[in-house]
Structure 1
């Protein structure tokens, strides 16, 4: 007997198990949405909304109403109720929450409820909603929210006004509703409204019946319209001024920049060997047309050139750490008494320590204070090439002036644009100052471009600069397979120049594909085989170059109801 009872209980539990834990479906609709509006003597509206919600399923814990404040001088919530009980302010069940400005958001909080009907009440006062229009006092009002996902079975809107006020006309301007009225009351009724359906009505009274002065929003609107009406006559003068500023500014900066251009007839270099025996750092500066932003590239090229002269050697060594199987060590073999200033600075870059010059320096330790040391090298290089007459002082000054005016115009133009936008609603000129700001910005931008392209080298170095630019292009073409090296040993001779010209990485990549080169005597690899030595040498170039890039020392590596007040939204959940 007990066994049969247990089996029956198990069968029932299995039968109803699929329905356990399923969320209840929930929906709701409005049986009625009634609105009572009293027009007070000063035109203020006292509005009372009564909304009867029928909740199906559940649970429901809140309902909301959003009141837009556009075309009003403000809305003040007087009271809210739930099933006839006035609610205090708060966020808990049995309280009402009021927040925001536009829209003003009202939320009823109540205990969870399901399959029930409840009445929500809301009373609020609307100021400045009546306004003067076409010789009458006008109330244009949207009593129901335009955003509601529930149906409304019926709605009745009653507007009561003073008997002393003379009603001229009452009509529905959007949607549909029946209109009835007497000497002090107008009633609008409608039914079977779908989701987001509403209507808008207008009441026109004799001028001065309810409004003696225009509401603040209407005054502001008329002032804005008056200002905008005058904007048109400023359009052409402003556009003309903008074009004039742009034209004169462009002509001025272009004419000014032409004073510093390189002399006509500069020779072009087409040979496939270094144009001269300049030191790599000098060649790098000339290839960059006098720029000193690439200090790390110039220093690296100088290092490889010192290695070719036997002053420095580089050795690959094994290490015992788990994170580094091998490293590269720079060794200072000798230090001649007579080195160029920038070469002495290169020794400091790669071998300098707080205790003085180190005999050996592991490459992985180079990053410590490298940026500061490269700046020291760049400063020394600048002094040296300035002494050699690389730069034309007049061109440098012209370049700086172009950059300066470019920055001034670029920084002033957004300030002028912002000022124009801030004064947009208060100025009879309108938004047209933005055109002038835009013209200033473009002139400044052009000035910056012209400043960047203005040569700073003196006439004596212009031709050689063009030659080194062409040689850099030749080396890049070699790495891309468009041209070939002039002779087999060329790679060893070209390496310092490739590094100084900012091509160390692409040169190393090129060497990966061409292992027929001879390892220079200043490099010693771990692997005695030819392929091992080649691989070690290629990695060495990339490793040293990466030290400067990761430290930040390399610039080249940085690489329908429209017009009506009221409306809003409503819902529950």
Structure 2
């Protein structure tokens, strides 16, 4: 026992010693090779001399403190947005001149490079710098930097630039004028980040002194001097006119953009109000009767003004309900479906039904399996949609093809968006240098283009008849959405077969099946699941004797939705496992496309079985 206590004691002290060692290591200074690199400019001073010809000579003195390292070069970039040229570069380190070089990184040299926006000088130290302070001197002459006005010529310059990543602790600028003036004729000012500050002093009739600092990365500092006109021989530089007009141009650009936004937005609203808004018709109370003379595909198109895949599938179910088609689940695993034509002519009521039958069966005769249509039927979907649109127009529900209307306004929106992009690219250079607010105009054009693209979806306009029929269809849809309230009567149960195609077109088929399944509704006779025998009564398809079709044995009448239940959660029955699965597979097959290569799967849609 005693030995155990001693062992724990020793281990405890070892743990404490280990923890103290870690703490000591954490507070010890890191080795020099791990120190961070940093640069601070303790001072950046300047002597600026305005010459008789209007050129301006700069002499900048930098005191730079290096930490870490090594550092081998530095650079200074002078923008030319308010100047016409720059030259006469000289660079020295600790009073020793560096030599100009056309290119390269040779120690003891400097290289001047030009761009469209300015000039950049990069100087390479004679020896790498680290943990020390060095002094550098830059000399250069800028042409066209003065503003020439009748009321007085001005020198207005950003001595501390905004685009840098290091701190400048202090700066002093001494401006020497071209001759001695009365101090009363001189004006001076400084600006820190665009705001005026009082850090200037008129020393005498020829000298103005500016002081400032510290300047953190991103800070900007400008100096300004005005002296009597007529002393220098310079003329107004080209940029001066644009710079003087910039405030008015920016204000005008913003005003134009605001007017475009208000006028364009109002114009788009009026466009929709006059050409896209449906006529106002009285509301219709919810009704349990399907709209007379309005087939499911047309009803679905009236709701969303689109003939989509739901409307095509709803047409197949409607034709099956009317005895035109029979649908059987086939295959060992029940993953395929057989469509059989029972009575196509003269039972087809609409041209789009004829197109659908022709595209599905073609030369296959009176039957086809769904798998035969995979990666082949998608080329016919647009033809069927067009036939549905044509039927809607022929019925007087739309003045023209809704899809064509959408495409016209979509094309206009794309054209306007292209114009906005071209205008934005064309004005970018001008906006960047002189009139930034000018970019607001192409931005507003782009916003209006996007608004028109969105508006194109609601531009198809119904006729008065179409609006009235749409109100009736919406009333019927509301009834189907609340069908569970009305299923306590035999009449309501008997309408499932009639309601299902409309529910498919409305996107509420899953809820409809669930609601009818709860009240023991008979299953539709036109669909035969593979896994369960079904007894067909008069009017249903079957063998000549009207007996069972399936795998035998179970009699007693037509199975209900409820007795087919049990395979899915939420009270759904094998109607969901069979019928809804068939709808899902059919929709997926109709839009499936061939794979472009072995590594890419074929496209395909999905049938959720739910509303939405």
Match of 1:536 in 2: 578
CA contact (8 A) 1:374 1:553 kept: no
Shift in Å, 1:51: 1.6
Match of 2:63 in 1: 52
1:518 aligned to 2:522? yes
Change (3 A) 1:34 1:470: closer
- Aligned residue runs from structure 1 range 133-152, under 5 A: 133=149, 135-145=151-161, 149-152=166-169
Match of 1:330 among 307, 316, 338: 338
Secondary structure of 2:84's partner?
A: coil
1:314 aligned to 2:327? yes
Match of 1:297 among 306, 310, 316: 310
Shift in Å, 1:464: 5.5
1:119 aligned to 2:135? yes
Match of 2:229 in 1: 207
Secondary structure of 1:288's partner?
A: helix
- Aligned residue runs from structure 1 range 407-426, under 5 A: none
Shift in Å, 1:297: 3.0
Deviating more after overlay: 486-495 vs 400-409: 400-409
Match of 1:35 in 2: 46
1:377 aligned to 2:384? yes
Distance, in Å, in 1 between the alignment partners of 2:584 and 2:264 is 53
Secondary structure of 1:289's partner?
A: helix
Distance, in Å, in 2 between the alignment partners of 1:201 and 1:50 is 17
Change (3 A) 1:553 1:172: closer
Secondary structure of 1:452's partner?
A: coil
Change (3 A) 1:76 1:299: same
Change (3 A) 1:51 1:175: farther
1:344 aligned to 2:348? no
Deviating more after overlay: 395-404 vs 294-303: 395-404
Change (3 A) 1:349 1:464: same
Distance, in Å, in 1 between the alignment partners of 2:403 and 2:335 is 44
Match of 1:271 in 2: 287
Match of 1:496 among 501, 508, 511: 501
CA contact (8 A) 1:35 1:158 kept: yes
1:24 aligned to 2:35? yes
Cα shift readout 1:228-268 (whole Å, capped 9, x = no counterpart)? 89x69xx89x979x889969x9889867889x948x7x794
Shift in Å, 1:210: 0.9
Secondary structure of 1:307's partner?
A: helix
Cα shift readout 1:56-80 (whole Å, capped 9, x = no counterpart)? 3323244333434454334447244
CA contact (8 A) 1:172 1:199 kept: no
Distance, in Å, in 1 between the alignment partners of 2:216 and 2:440 is 44
Match of 2:473 in 1: 468
Match of 1:131 in 2: 147
Q: CA RMSD in A?
A: 5.6
Change (3 A) 1:493 1:142: closer
Shift in Å, 1:413: 11
Cα shift readout 1:80-125 (whole Å, capped 9, x = no counterpart)? 4455322425464636564555565444455643123333332322
- Aligned residue runs from structure 1 range 170-181, under 5 A: 171=188, 173=190, 174=197, 176=199, 180=203
Deviating more after overlay: 62-71 vs 165-174: 165-174
CA contact (8 A) 2:301 2:311 kept: no
- Segments of 5+ residues of structure 2 without an aligned counterpart are 1-21, 191-196, 533-562, 568-573, 594-602
Change (3 A) 1:190 1:544: closer
Distance, in Å, in 2 between the alignment partners of 1:58 and 1:221 is 42
Secondary structure of 1:209's partner?
A: coil
CA contact (8 A) 2:92 2:98 kept: yes
- Segments of 5+ residues of structure 1 without an aligned counterpart are 1-13, 320-324, 560-573
Match of 1:390 in 2: 395
CA contact (8 A) 1:295 1:554 kept: no
- Aligned residue runs from structure 1 range 453-464, under 5 A: 453-455=461-463, 457=465
1:169 aligned to 2:186? yes
- Aligned residue runs from structure 1 range 55-74, under 5 A: 55-74=66-85
Distance, in Å, in 2 between the alignment partners of 1:21 and 1:55 is 14
Distance, in Å, in 1 between the alignment partners of 2:82 and 2:100 is 28
CA contact (8 A) 2:175 2:208 kept: yes
Shift in Å, 1:372: 2.8
Q: Of the two structures, which has the highest relative contact order with CA contacts closer than 8 Å and spacing of 6 or more?
A: 1
Shift in Å, 1:329: 1.2
Change (3 A) 1:108 1:267: closer
CA contact (8 A) 1:327 1:362 kept: no
CA contact (8 A) 2:352 2:388 kept: yes
TM-score normalised to structure 1 length: 0.67
Match of 1:362 in 2: 370
Distance, in Å, in 1 between the alignment partners of 2:415 and 2:364 is 46
Shift in Å, 1:188: 3.9
Shift in Å, 1:130: 1.8
Distance, in Å, in 2 between the alignment partners of 1:466 and 1:356 is 41
Change (3 A) 1:504 1:123: farther
Change (3 A) 1:129 1:256: closer
CA contact (8 A) 1:312 1:331 kept: yes
Distance, in Å, in 2 between the alignment partners of 1:56 and 1:253 is 66
Change (3 A) 1:203 1:297: closer
Change (3 A) 1:301 1:224: closer
Distance, in Å, in 1 between the alignment partners of 2:344 and 2:161 is 91
Match of 2:97 in 1: 84
Change (3 A) 1:91 1:487: farther
CA contact (8 A) 1:295 1:553 kept: no
